[in-house]
Every structure is written in structure tokens, then in C-alpha cells.
């Protein structure tokens, strides 16, 4: 079967853009992607659009043109963007369409995500006693992981330091100033062991990706960035997820538990026919510094516990063996849920085209990996090849 290719990319700056709705940030990204692909809106045959908190994506046809285009809204927790992309590539793979769009945007209120128990099928008392706080889960998860595999607070600091350093060179990033390791480690704790620089914030932004069949991509004369795999998976038994009043006791708790990420990753590598060692650059979900560390192992790039050495040797830096989160990831870009997974793919296309400027991975990278994970135990992975 021929590959699905990404022929156009667009992004609206992440962070805070007062006075511009989430939807309009999505429209901005679409227009940029259309221009990048040198096509016009009426040529788009179908759209999958994702947003968690900024309204129905299909209403953007008002802005872009009432062409009668097929437009399907996707809402799928933290995997919303990845799900939109997965669906878009399936529409082309099926032979039904040859040119379409995946778009994601969001605009969240300031401060921590404010979830209500009823939205998660939990009793009211759980929220009343102060447990509907996502940061508690992420902190408790890394606390256990650090205990099991000897990861230090210094390693958490190095991840955040790298994120802000990389964000300096990403025009779409929110935080574009370096923060010193000492400032990161000495900052006030939000939820131990994480200081305020080690968590990303809910944010705003929009991303658009134009997908084409290989035949169509050749007609358009675009460099072939092939989407070799796109997977979206849910959690296995015994996993530890956000908003868990309890989790299972397991027989051997000295090993890491199964996760949606492990499943999505293994399936993506199987589909692409390559392995973790073949990847030139990776964007791994880093809603907190420890997430990047755990996801290095969950996606098969290293063994549990090796991250400490990887980070001290700089192996995930731009010039390292496996550059990770080259645009600063969620830590520097913030997390607009509907757009976040698509931002990773946008960044990977930039890297594979060699357009990364000050953050460009050297050596002409040929393969790029992206991974999101989040509530309620979902993960989406993509592998691109040029």
C-alpha cells in the first residue's frame, strides 16, 4: 500500500493570545498549512478537527468557506489531536479521499485544569476532599518511579532546563527564555517532587496538517514526508491513571506496569517496520519533567533507570544521540489539549525538512517519532519518515 504523506503544516503560536478565540487560532493554522502546501481550501476533501474546551471545530467552515466539505469533530481526551490525525490518514488509506486536513486547537482557562468528579464517573466526595487535581497523580506516579529506578530530582531538573533552552529557538513556543538548572530545582514545589518549572500549563494554540495520498503528494510536487504509522491505544489492566481512588495490587510490583503508551508505541514500531534505534528525533509527552523520563522507557528508547545517565550525558539534547522535544515540548509550549499532539507532528515535519533553524537536529534526520499520553489512560504515537 502506498504511504500517506504530510504535504502542508501550519501553527498558531502556543501560549496566551488574548482576544483570539481557540477556533480562530485553528483557522490561522489551517490557512498557513494551505499556503505551505500551495493549495486552496476548496481542494480539501475532508477534515478531522479536535478541540477539548474551545468549541466545535467544524464551525470553522464559516471562516474558511462553505464548500460542503466533510468535517468530523474529534474529542478524545489528551489523545484528541492524535485521534484526528489517525482518522485522517485512515480516510486516505481507505482510498475514499486523497487530500484532507487534521486540525486541532484549544484555549483553556488559566491555572490548573479544573475537572469535576461527575465528568469522570467519580463520587462528589472525591472532589470535595481535594483529589480532582491532575498534578497529584503525575507527582505520585514519578515519586514511585524514582523510588523504583533510582531517578534523581536533578534528572527532573535537566529535562526542564533542556525544554526551556530548546524553546528559545522555536517561534511557536510559549516560554522562550532559558531557565537555569539551579532556578528550576530551587523554585517552589507545586506537588513534590515537582517544582513550578517542572509542570507545563494549560494553554492555547492551533495546529493544522494537510495529508495527501502519495500519488497526490507527487502531483503537488512536495517533498515526501511519509506517515509510516499512527496509532491510538487505551490502557491495559493494572495501569495507574489520573483520578484513581484505588489501583490494583499486582503480584510483582518491582517492574513497571503496562501503559497505553507501551501498547501504542509497540504497535507503531510494528507498523513502521523499524525499531527505537532507527529513530532520529522524538517528541515525547512531557506535561511534567518526569513524564519525559518515563516515556523514554515506555516508548522503548532506553531501559527503566537508564534515563539518569542519558540525561547527564546529554543524549537527548539537540546534538545528542536521540534529541527529545526539540521545540521545548509541553514544558515550553504549554498544553492546549486539542492541538498538543499535532504540534509534535508539526515539529517533526519541520525537523525532517531541515527547517529547524537554531533547534535543527544535525545530520539530516530521516525518521521522527511523536507520542502523547493522558487522561483517561490514552496514548497516540506517530512515526514519520522522509
Partner 1 sequence: MRAIAEGLFTEETPPRLVGGRDRETGRIVFPCPAGHEAVPLGREGKLWSYTIQRFRPKTPPYAGPEAFSPWVVAYVELPGETIVEARLVDVAFEDVAIGMSLRLVQAPLDPDAADPVLIPAFAPAGHAV
Residues of this chain that interact with partner 1 (CB under 8 A) are: 111-112, 114, 116-117, 123-125, 127-133, 135-136, 139-141, 143-144, 147, 188-193, 244-249
Nearest to partner 1 of 147, 277 (CB atom): 147
CB of 129 to partner 1, least distance (A): 5
- Give per-residue burial for 21-44: e unless 16+ CB within 10 Å, then b: ebbbbbbbbbbbbbebbebeeebb
CB of 237 to partner 1, least distance (A): 9
Nearest to partner 1 of 108, 172 (CB atom): 108
Q: Which residues contact 108 (CB under 8 A, 6 or more apart)?
A: 52, 53, 202, 203, 204, 335, 336, 337
Instruction: Give the DSSP letter string of 176-240.
Output: -S---HHHHHHSPEEETTEEGGGB--B-EEEEEEEEEEHHHHHHHT----EEEEEEEEE--TT--
CB of 149 to partner 1, least distance (A): 12
C-alpha pair distances (Å), 381 with each of 46, 125, 164, 323, 375: 22, 35, 23, 17, 15
CB of 258 to partner 1, least distance (A): 15
C-alpha pair distances (Å), 107 with each of 207, 282, 286, 337: 13, 25, 19, 8
Q: Grid coordinates 523514554 are at which residue?
A: 296
CA 182 to chain centre: 27
- Contact between residue 298 and residue 262 where contact means Cβ atoms under 8 Å apart: yes
Nearest to partner 1 of 93, 144 (CB atom): 144
Give CA–CA dist 53/65, Å, rounded. 23
CB of 251 to partner 1, least distance (A): 10
Nearest to partner 1 of 69, 242 (CB atom): 242
Nearest to partner 1 of 230, 297 (CB atom): 297
CB of 44 to partner 1, least distance (A): 39
17, three cell numbers: 493570545
CB of 293 to partner 1, least distance (A): 15
CB of 127 to partner 1, least distance (A): 3
CB of 243 to partner 1, least distance (A): 9
> φ and ψ at 31, to 5 degrees?
-60, -40
Give CA–CA dist 245/113, Å, rounded. 18
> What is the chain's alpha carbon radius of gyration, rounded to the nearest angstrom?
20
Nearest to partner 1 of 139, 279 (CB atom): 139
Nearest to partner 1 of 63, 144 (CB atom): 144
Instruction: Give the DSSP letter string of 134-175.
Output: HHHHHHHHHHHHHHHHT--HHHHHHHHHHHHHHHTT-TT-S-
Nearest to partner 1 of 133, 224 (CB atom): 133
Nearest to partner 1 of 72, 133 (CB atom): 133
Give CA–CA dist 232/382, Å, rounded. 9
Nearest to partner 1 of 66, 237 (CB atom): 237
CB of 138 to partner 1, least distance (A): 8
**279 closest CA partner among 256, 296, 255:** 296
374, three cell numbers: 493522558
Amino acid at each position: 500500500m502506498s504511504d500517506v504523506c504530510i504535504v502542508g503544516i501550519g501553527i498558531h503560536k502556543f501560549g496566551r493570545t488574548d482576544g483570539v478565540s481557540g477556533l480562530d487560532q485553528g483557522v490561522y493554522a489551517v490557512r498557513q498549512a494551505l499556503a505551505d502546501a500551495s493549495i486552496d481550501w476548496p481542494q480539501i476533501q475532508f477534515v478531522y478537527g479536535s478541540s477539548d474546551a474551545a468549541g466545535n471545530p467544524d464551525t470553522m467552515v464559516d471562516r474558511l468557506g462553505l464548500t460542503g466539505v466533510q468535517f468530523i469533530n474529534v474529542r478524545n481526551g489528551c489523545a484528541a489531536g492524535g485521534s484526528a490525525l489517525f482518522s485522517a490518514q485512515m480516510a486516505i488509506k481507505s482510498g475514499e479521499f486523497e487530500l484532507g486536513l487534521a486540525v486541532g486547537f484549544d484555549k483553556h482557562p488559566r491555572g490548573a485544569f479544573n475537572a469535576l468528579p461527575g465528568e469522570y464517573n467519580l463520587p462528589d466526595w472525591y472532589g470535595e476532599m481535594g483529589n480532582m487535581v491532575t498534578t497529584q497523580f503525575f507527582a505520585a506516579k514519578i515519586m514511585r518511579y524514582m523510588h523504583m529506578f533510582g531517578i534523581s530530582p536533578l534528572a527532573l531538573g535537566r529535562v526542564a532546563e533542556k525544554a526551556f533552552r530548546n524553546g528559545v529557538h522555536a517561534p511557536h513556543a510559549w516560554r522562550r527564555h532559558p531557565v537555569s538548572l539551579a532556578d528550576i530545582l530551587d523554585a517552589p514545589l507545586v506537588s513534590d517532587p515537582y517544582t513550578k518549572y517542572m509542570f507545563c500549563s494549560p494553554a492555547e494554540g492551533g495546529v493544522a496538517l494537510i495529508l495527501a495520498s502519495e500519488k497526490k503528494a507527487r502531483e503537488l510536487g512536495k517533498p515526501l514526508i511519509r506517515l509510516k504509522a499512527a496509532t491510538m491505544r487505551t490502557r491495559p489492566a493494572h495501569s495507574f491513571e489520573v483520578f484513581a481512588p484505588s489501583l490494583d495490587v499486582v503480584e510483582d510490583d518491582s517492574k513497571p506496569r503496562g501503559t497505553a503508551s507501551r501498547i501504542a508505541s509497540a504497535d507503531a514500531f510494528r507498523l513502521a517496520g523499524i525499531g527505537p534505534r532507527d529513530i532520529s528525533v522524538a517528541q515525547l509527552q512531557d506535561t511534567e519533567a518526569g513524564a519525559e523520563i518515563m516515556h523514554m522507557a515506555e516508548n522503548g528508547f532506553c531501559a527503566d533507570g537508564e534515563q539518569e545517565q542519558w540525561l547527564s550525558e546529554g543524549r537527548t539534547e539537540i546534538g545528542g544521540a536521540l534529541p527529545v522535544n526539540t521545540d521545548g515540548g509541553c514544558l515550553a509550549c504549554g498544553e492546549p489539549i486539542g492541538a498538543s499532539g499535532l504540534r509534535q507532528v508539526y515539529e517533526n515535519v519541520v525537523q525532517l525538512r531541515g527547517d529547524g533553524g537554531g533547534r535543527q537536529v544535525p545530520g539530516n534526520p530521516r525518521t521522527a517519532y511523536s507520542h502523547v499520553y493522558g487522561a483517561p489512560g490514552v496514548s497516540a504515537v506517530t512515526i514519520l519518515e522522509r
